[in-house]
């Protein structure tokens, strides 16, 4: 029953009848019966996957399969050191993946912790304290200031009840609750004022509610279901590497089989052919590539952390660099989450207020010039009324205690001075009356009543208006027109008035809040962060679209978006989204970038449709309501300071400073990481291909002795990956990364220029190496020395080609020495090559032989040619490209 009823649409008595309860609560027996039938009031987590199963699943990758085959083959060859290196790489990648997958479970566990441990209820007419997990539908719950709501409640009584629902709705202002029936249909959560939602915080007053939904049926429970149903899709990098791994696996196996078949046709020995095929497979497998990619990502994570962006999953580094859309929450992300008075209207004119948030520093200006509030009596009395008719407090250390709206009024008053008169009575704010009044008495015994509330109500209660010098007849139409103009700018408008009463009065009577003297209007807003506008400009320049998705008012959201420079054609509310088909919403998304009064389902749906349209979507958020969208995005970004633990655990990245600008920095780092990964691949694949082709050429030409032994190949791949590949991962960032558009999602990791380079370099390396080997063998050189020359030739080709890979398209002559780690790595690799070439013990282990000085001269002249040729090719390509652009 409770799952089908829209409780906001029915009266209190109807709700109690449907739930078969009353205002005294359930009996203990009935509560126990319902608990056994419907279960505990707690978020049900997914059944956990066993750690062993999760770990084993990390090996389900084509590239890992190829590496495991290579390890098995090296085991058969009794090359145990080589096998250990390969297995180490495989295990390292598996462990990283295993750790990453804990985050989804953490998100749900944090969500469960949001439910309060104990709560006050009525059972059999008696007040009891029970564990919140034991609440059942029909229980009567008592709410008090500072407590969390333990379940979804239909309110049956309230007194000055205000609830902070920002973690659920994104609304920055605490909601004034009531018990009235809501007639309108399709009302968003933020406007269901007769419902108190599980996990939200009571900021003021008290109330009583009947439980209408617990556990999975509550709004917080529905969000947990969205998180559980959300399947985290792989990032662009993961998808690309997975595709490349499948392609490599297929090509390597196919070439190895062809090698065996061709050798068989040439009549070579089966055992020799087997070892040749194995050598070819080992040569072609880039066993160091996964490790180099992992290192590149890890370094990117460290650099992002230094710029306040904490990455929780490695592929998220590159994914953010590929982002085409950032869907951002407004409250606390684009704005400060601190209400601030921006405009004050009195009969003296329209004043503007400077300053930020709850910091009382700032000025009041009229016509662009700073003024002294004491020269403007109507302004001064307006500020005084806002400060006195107020229940909030300014903390000495900064910030406020109490309602954000009242806090903003205190701060605006503090910019003029200190106002204090003893309060002796009050009329608390109620949604039916829409105003608050307080009675004050000064030291001389004079009594004053101050009132604040909606402009409509305060103007009705006022008969006169103060202009700073004298009093004139109240003109409500004029005041309401000004209030409407202020509201159209996204401002929340509060009106103030006062009246002097007879001396010694200590109680407010109904007639005292009448015939008031109208003072003025104060318009406030949760202002944008100062540096966000610049960051959004950078996003626009980088080809990244910013979309605001918030639970706040549509006018406020649209105003903030305009101030920040978010490009949009109007704004849509959650009710509009709910009535749209997917096709209609996709069409709207092409021009609308502001969505207000949205539900968690709306936000997650928008993210899903953007991804469906081929966008790479980053989502920011800080509340529980953001968790499903954070999970569903290509990369979820949570706020580190203001964010809930649920949001942080659901996210891929956490901003340590809650600063939107840190996202832009992370985008730049992400693009740099992707660029480095391309460079690593550009350097790795041609060298592996050359080694494999050298083996293939030997078989095709019928050589009994291979130019490179499997041991030599593993040595090359291991030593160069560490000494040459790792320094590539710390190459300085290229300039202008944020001036480029995001790479298309379907763009292959292996760009045409990279494919062309791979073929060119591999053919050049294998041709030169094989010709040297062939020349030496034909001139009577022994096999071991010829193989040593071939081994060193390949290594020095990789050294010279490494310099080419500092940039894919640009000439690198001017930056050859920009990376000191690369120079150090090259020195280490050369030293190791000397060691295995001339050390007698290593000659035995590695099956190498000392070579002559003339051999080194030939090797250097031959291998350095690759640097000259590739740089020349870059120069010609760039020149042609410029000619094409000019045409």
Residues classed as catalytic? 329
Task: Indicate if the alpha-carbon torsion angle 10, 11, 15, 18 is positive or negative.
Answer: negative
Within 8 A by CB and 6+ apart from 276, the residues are 259, 260, 263, 268, 695, 698, 699, 706
User: What is the SS3 string spanning 563-624?
Assistant: HHCCCCCCCEEHHHHHCCCHHHHHHHHCCCCEEECCCHHHHHHHHHHHHHCCCCEEEEECCH
Question: What region does 125 belong to: left with phi over 0, alpha with psi -120 to 50, or beta?
Answer: left
Query: C-alpha 654: how far from its chain's center?
Result: 7
CB atoms within 10 A of CB 142: 18
Under a CB-based contact definition with an 8 Å cutoff, are residues 61 and 242 in contact? yes
* 473: Cα within 13 Å, side-chain hemisphere: 1
Fill in the DSSP letter of residue 335: B
Fill in the DSSP letter of residue 723: I
Q: How far is the C-alpha of 789 from the C-alpha of 772, rounded, in Å? A: 8
* 451: Cα within 13 Å, side-chain hemisphere: 29
Burial class (CB within 10 angstroms; exposed 0-12, middle 13-18, buried 19+) of 718:
middle
For tokens 């208006």, name the residue. 465
Burial class (CB within 10 angstroms; exposed 0-12, middle 13-18, buried 19+) of 573:
middle
* 161: Cα within 13 Å, side-chain hemisphere: 25
Q: How far is the C-alpha of 192 from the C-alpha of 368, rounded, in Å? A: 41
Q: How far is the C-alpha of 212 from the C-alpha of 196, rounded, in Å? A: 10
Fill in the DSSP letter of residue 430: -
Look at residues 570, 576, 644 and name the one whose alpha carbon lies nearest to residue 605: 576
Within 8 A by CB and 6+ apart from 532, the residues are 334, 564, 660, 661
Q: How far is the C-alpha of 30 from the C-alpha of 14, rounded, in Å? A: 19
Look at residues 430, 449, 452 and name the one whose alpha carbon lies nearest to residue 520: 452
814 in helix, strand or coil? helix
Under a CB-based contact definition with an 8 Å cutoff, are residues 500 and 448 in contact? yes
Q: Where do runs of H (alpha helix) occur along 735-887?
A: 752-778, 783-804, 820-838, 840-846, 853-886
Look at residues 402, 289, 268 and name the one whose alpha carbon lies nearest to residue 339: 402
Burial class (CB within 10 angstroms; exposed 0-12, middle 13-18, buried 19+) of 590:
exposed
Kind plus residue range of the DSSP H or E element containing 555: helix 554-564
Q: Please report the beta strands in 625-779, taking only residues with DSSP state E, as ranges in sequence order.
A: 635-639, 653-655
Question: What region does 126 belong to: left with phi over 0, alpha with psi -120 to 50, or beta?
Answer: beta
The tokens describing 765, both together, are 């390396």
The tokens describing 7, both together, are 């409780």
Kind plus residue range of the DSSP H or E element containing 439: strand 435-441
Under a CB-based contact definition with an 8 Å cutoff, are residues 712 and 788 in contact? no
Under a CB-based contact definition with an 8 Å cutoff, are residues 419 and 409 in contact? no
């Amino acid at each position: 029953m409770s799952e089908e009823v829209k409780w906001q649409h029915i009266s209190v008595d109807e709700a109690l009848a449907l739930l078969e309860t009353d205002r005294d609560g359930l009996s203990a027996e009935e509560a126990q019966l319902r608990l056994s039938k419907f279960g505990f009031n707690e978020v049900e987590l997914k059944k956990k996957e066993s750690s062993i199963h999760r770990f084993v699943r990390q090996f389900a990758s084509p590239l890992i399969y190829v590496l495991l085959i290579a390890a098995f083959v090296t085991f058969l060859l009794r090359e145990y050191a080589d096998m250990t290196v390969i297995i180490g790489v495989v295990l390292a990648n598996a462990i990283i993946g295993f750790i990453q997958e804990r985050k989804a479970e953490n998100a749900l566990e944090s969500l469960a912790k949001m439910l309060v441990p104990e709560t006050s209820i009525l059972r059999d007419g008696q007040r009891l304290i029970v564990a919140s997990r034991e609440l059942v539908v029909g229980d009567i719950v008592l709410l008090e200031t500072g407590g969390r709501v333990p379940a979804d409640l239909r309110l049956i009584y309230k007194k000055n009840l205000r609830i902070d629902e920002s973690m659920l709705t994104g609304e920055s202002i605490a909601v004034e609750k009531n018990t009235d029936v809501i007639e309108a249909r399709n009302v968003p959560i933020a406007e269901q004022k007769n419902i108190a939602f599980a996990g939200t915080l009571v900021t003021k007053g008290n109330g009583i509610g009947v439980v209408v939904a617990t556990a999975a049926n509550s709004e917080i429970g529905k969000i947990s279901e969205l998180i559980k149903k959300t399947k985290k899709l792989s990032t662009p990098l993961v998808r690309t590497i997975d595709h490349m791994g499948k392609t490599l696996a297929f090509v390597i196996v196919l070439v190895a089989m062809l090698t065996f078949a061709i050798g068989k046709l040439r009549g070579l020995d089966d055992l020799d052919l087997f070892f040749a095929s194995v050598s070819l497979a080992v040569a072609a497998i880039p066993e160091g590539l996964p490790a180099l990619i992992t290192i590149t990502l890890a370094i990117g994570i460290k650099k992002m952390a230094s710029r306040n962006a904490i990455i929780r999953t490695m592929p998220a580094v590159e994914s953010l660099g590929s982002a085409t859309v950032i869907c951002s929450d407004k409250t606390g992300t684009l704005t400060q989450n601190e209400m601030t008075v921006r405009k004050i209207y009195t009969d003296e004119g329209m004043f503007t207020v400077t300053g930020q948030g709850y910091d009382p520093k700032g000025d009041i200006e009229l016509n662009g010039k700073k003024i002294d509030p004491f020269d403007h009596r109507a302004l001064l009395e307006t500020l005084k009324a806002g400060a006195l008719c107020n229940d909030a407090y300014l903390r000495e250390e900064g910030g406020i205690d109490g309602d954000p709206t009242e806090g903003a009024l205190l701060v605006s008053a503090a910019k003029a001075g200190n106002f204090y008169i003893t309060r002796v009575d009050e009329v608390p704010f109620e949604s039916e009356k829409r105003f608050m009044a307080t009675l004050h008495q000064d030291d001389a015994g004079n009594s004053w009543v101050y009132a604040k509330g909606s402009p409509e109500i305060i103007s009705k209660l006022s008969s006169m208006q103060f202009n700073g010098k004298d009093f004139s007849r109240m003109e409500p139409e004029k005041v309401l027109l000004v209030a409407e103009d202020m509201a159209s700018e996204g401002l929340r408008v509060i009106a103030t008035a006062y009246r002097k009463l007879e001396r010694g009065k200590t109680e407010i009577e109904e007639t005292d809040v009448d015939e008031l003297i109208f003072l003025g209007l104060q318009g406030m807003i949760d202002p944008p962060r100062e540096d966000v506008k610049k960051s959004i400009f950078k996003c626009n320049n980088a080809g990244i679209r910013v979309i605001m998705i918030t639970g706040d008012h549509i006018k406020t959201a649209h105003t903030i978006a305009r101030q920040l420079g978010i490009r949009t054609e109007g704004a849509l509310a959650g009710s509009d989204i709910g009535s749209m088909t997917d096709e209609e919403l996709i069409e709207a998304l092409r021009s609308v970038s502001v969505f207000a009064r949205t539900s968690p389902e709306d936000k997650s749906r928008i993210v899903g449709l953007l991804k469906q349209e081929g966008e790479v979507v980053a989502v920011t958020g800080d509340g529980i309501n953001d968790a499903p969208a954070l999970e569903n995005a290509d990369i979820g970004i949570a706020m580190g300071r203001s964010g809930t633990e649920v949001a942080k655990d659901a996210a891929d990245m956490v901003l340590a400073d809650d600063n939107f600008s840190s996202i832009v920095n992370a985008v730049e780092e992400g693009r740099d990481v992707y660029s480095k990964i391309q460079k690593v691949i550009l350097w790795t694949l041609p060298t592996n291909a050359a080694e494999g082709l050298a083996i293939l050429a030997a078989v095709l030409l019928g050589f009994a002795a291979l130019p490179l032994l499997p041991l030599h190949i593993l040595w090359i791949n291991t030593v160069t990956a560490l000494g040459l590949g790792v320094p590539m991962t710390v190459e300085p960032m290229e300039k202008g990364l944020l001036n480029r558009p995001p790479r298309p999602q379907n763009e292959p990791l292996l760009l045409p220029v990279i494919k062309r380079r791979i073929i060119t370099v591999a053919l050049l390396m294998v041709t030169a190496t094989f010709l040297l080997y062939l020349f030496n063998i034909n001139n009577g050189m022994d096999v071991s020395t010829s193989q040593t020359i071939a081994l060193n030739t390949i290594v020095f080709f990789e050294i010279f080609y490494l310099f080419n890979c500092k940039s894919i398209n640009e000439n690198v002559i001017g930056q050859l020495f920009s990376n000191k780690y690369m120079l150090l790595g090259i020195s280490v690799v050369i030293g190791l090559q000397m060691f295995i070439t001339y050390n007698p013990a290593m000659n035995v282990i590695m099956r190498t032989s000392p070579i002559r000085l003339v051999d080194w001269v030939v090797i250097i002249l031959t291998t350095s040619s690759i640097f000259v040729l590739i740089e020349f090719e870059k120069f010609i390509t760039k020149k042609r490209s410029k000619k094409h652009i000019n045409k």
